[in-house]
Structure 1
């Protein structure tokens, strides 16, 4: 967002009363809301260092904002002092990058170094010129070196190359004392582990990140899938089978994004499941392997299904068609979990999830198995090693909706998180960048068994707890749904 106080989710701007909207008159009283009162438009590393030291000296509530896409309100904060890194732009392409302090026998590899304000759409277009692939997000304006990175970063390329953090070779961060440090496996292994999945700004302010780059494939195969139903009974049958079909499609190497629609909604789409799946260099054999379980759902009892492939010559061609920014200037929040085979093939759990979907609708913010090579080298929830997608139950409200409606929907979100906790059990986790901002069991659901180690590292590098944000490691900032 190209304004220091603008956020993708409007709920992170508005205050509790005297709210001002796009059509509010100039004479109306307006509160500051949740927008920080002061913001530093950082144009250099020195700007960030000076601002951090100032916040430390005066014990200020420090907020870090890159693009303002954070679903948990972590880049916003009432009565806060903000450092805004959006205009720190720059890309450096490397043919043979070697991390700082690496042993002499470490070979260089193709990579790109991105400054904090770089956004994915710009990175992708630049990468296309270089004939390279960078493992990034499926939204145009999300920052490539901010919260997407520290939260793990799922990608259309995750089946092959892992999460975004699995492709990080080096990160430069500003510490709570204002020092610029370089993190990689050869400098500070604990801090490097924590920044890759530790979430938000808890472990420092990223100024640069260096990602591996990969060669372009011959083509991108995209597969459009639609499963429709006409009654709640047939919808239940269709969704149960669809969940199981996702296991087969992801095993065939496809990633993607999808939605689940209720009956009798105002949506333009029919009741059922829809998705776009994709695979680099996908062919007829892989298509039929992935599509077969969806097509098998098709019957004469009120369920219809289809799947058909499309070919795009290059990744940038796919990007130009499908890459969007959803939920801009809305109040969307999600309760989510990492979808796993052990849950979808458990009939009791499968039925419970389908019941939730029929009642509330749902989204699959990501579909795909993630390459788990080196998973223990990053701080994300261990459930990522088994996950085949991110399942979310969202809610939204009009800006001018009554306070009671907003409160009800926030509390409903908490109830949904609690129900998901029952279904997935104590080892269930989620993708923290698309999680419930009011998640009741957040330490466990966000990081699981990794939380204890993260908390120890946090206390060692940030003993005064300067870097805080909603439901971040070691924080005392915990937004409530009431």
Structure 2
């Protein structure tokens, strides 16, 4: 057992055995007396402690009238709201503008998207602080939603009070930012401040399209900025620029006591560290983040195509060649995104690059493509295209409307902002109903020549059960030393530092919000079995692999170790300091062991 696995085992023993609840509750509460004095049960509508109409009116006054009583637009099929929601069901910008909806409609045998009882449509940190204070005073279940992209359903909960930050979306560029308390210590640097309701398309439009610089954010343009930072955060070019959370310079956050705090390297440094990958919604409500910006490369580009093998034997050889090619030519800061291995013996290429011209990128791929073309057992079911464009236009909606309209999906509502676009490849996730979703970081040691045959066979065997995606940009093996060092100073599972890829195996069905047609649970069960078998087969090579908290299994076993590894005890200490009574609850979030699955009952 190597040092990492020994450390992980030592961490897992007290947390993940039959005595897990008692051990972790004690660690989080600090003492049994503290637990005994804390809130044991949160209230629901109809309970004796539920706030009276007059008390809700008081909160409404405190937040400038921005208290909403929520109802799903799918609750009444005869309503205009239902018709409007069905019309825009595939528009993620519309869904994000509905406080009663989430970008994922549910997960088989796990959760369904149901609205909170009330929502504070916050427009300032003061609004957020008022909502937090109200929830604490009345023992309410509190939920936070910005972008609303949570696959695990952490951005909604029935019978709760929602802090909805969608309208807090201001973006401010800085030429010379210095964090609070850092004057004379920290050199001024270019940065961008984003309120927590902003989406990444807001950030890219301001920073890159109009500002000519780069900020490390998420790949999907409609993801919320604050949630991504708190989960760790990967974008297409993370293999060069590192994780999004590692670029965080400062955060404004409302803690459980209702205080608006500034967290950075100089003030509340422990909370600052916890916000960098410790998971959204567990330590406080982030209302603003400030991220460093970088010099923009001259070109961004992409490689798309599909190759089909005529036999299983030929497919094994194709997998082996692709893995060897990746290790030799692509495991470096220039390359990111995906190769997809499929049960039909197909290899789908969806790669991106930065800092190379189209000619240079073509030269990199020439040996691999020449090898494929020289063999009769392979065909190109989709011709390989290698394209480059000026990096400043990579998130420029007008540029894509003119030159490559099929690559994007636009906000189809009248008078929608022209910047509103998302990649067509992300469109199938809009309102989807997840059947199964699993992820795992694969260590770079699997790319060593002496282990590539094992990896090839594992990929082939796994692909007999289900397709799998290798997200190379979501592992930092091959990244610059600076990016790895910065990510090491975050709360993420340290396995990400030495992973060459995050493998994702998932399946989903059509949107299925409550009130719509019911999901096909027979198909969901079958898909989940195939996903599980595929991942189990692959993980025989990496049995201790961790998972990415935002893209992981709802039913993840040993989730503390999987999501955070050796960093979990330190995160638990931050939780104990800033939220000793557990006001902020996210299932499988830091400190959630102390509560029931729905977050309403404290475990003893």
TM-score by length of 1: 0.86
Give the match for residue 454 of structure 2. 348
Picking from 319, 335, 342, the partner of 2:438 is 335
Q: Distance in 1 between matches of 2:484 and 2:110?
A: 42
Q: Does the CA contact (< 8 Å) of 1:417 and 1:436 recur in 2?
A: no
- 2:79 is the counterpart of 1:4: no
Picking from 223, 231, 234, the partner of 2:303 is 223
Q: Distance in 1 between matches of 2:496 and 2:362?
A: 25
Question: Which has the larger helix fraction?
Answer: 2
When structure 1 is superposed on structure 2, of 99-108 and 313-322 the one drifting more is 313-322
Change (3 A) 1:77 1:250: farther
Aligned pairs, number = 458
Q: Distance in 1 between matches of 2:192 and 2:527?
A: 42
Give 1:295 deviation, angstroms.
4.5
Q: Distance in 1 between matches of 2:535 and 2:585?
A: 23
Q: Distance in 2 between matches of 1:271 and 1:479?
A: 40
Change (3 A) 1:261 1:411: closer
Equivalent residue runs for 1:58-457 within 5 Å: 58-127=138-207, 128-144=209-225, 146-260=226-340, 262-263=342-343, 271-282=346-357, 284-285=359-360, 287-289=362-364, 292-293=367-368, 295-300=370-375, 302-304=377-379, 307-317=384-394, 320=397, 321=400, 322=407, 323-324=422-423, 325-326=426-427, 327-332=429-434, 333-345=436-448, 346=451, 347-367=453-473, 369=476, 370=479, 371-398=483-510, 399=512, 400-407=518-525, 409-410=527-528, 413=531, 419=537, 421-426=539-544, 428-457=545-574
Please identify the structure whose Cα radius of gyration is greater. 2
Give the match for residue 464 of structure 1. 581
Q: Does the CA contact (< 8 Å) of 1:220 and 1:311 recur in 2?
A: yes
Q: Distance in 1 between matches of 2:123 and 2:272?
A: 25
Q: Does the CA contact (< 8 Å) of 1:252 and 1:286 recur in 2?
A: no
Query: Which has the bigger relative contact order, CA under 8 A and spacing at least 6?
Result: 2
RMSD: 2.8
Residues 3-45 of structure 1: per-residue CA shift (max 9 Å, x gap): 01211111169998xx9xxxxxxxxxxxxx6332222211221
Give 1:402 deviation, angstroms.
4.3
Picking from 125, 137, 141, the partner of 1:57 is 137
Give 1:231 deviation, angstroms.
2.8
TM-score by length of 2: 0.70
Which sections of structure 1, spanning at least 5 residues, go unmatched? Answer: 20-32, 265-269
Give 1:349 deviation, angstroms.
4.2
Change (3 A) 1:386 1:3: same
Q: Distance in 2 between matches of 1:244 and 1:139?
A: 29
Which sections of structure 2, spanning at least 5 residues, go unmatched? Answer: 1-95, 401-406, 408-421, 513-517, 599-604
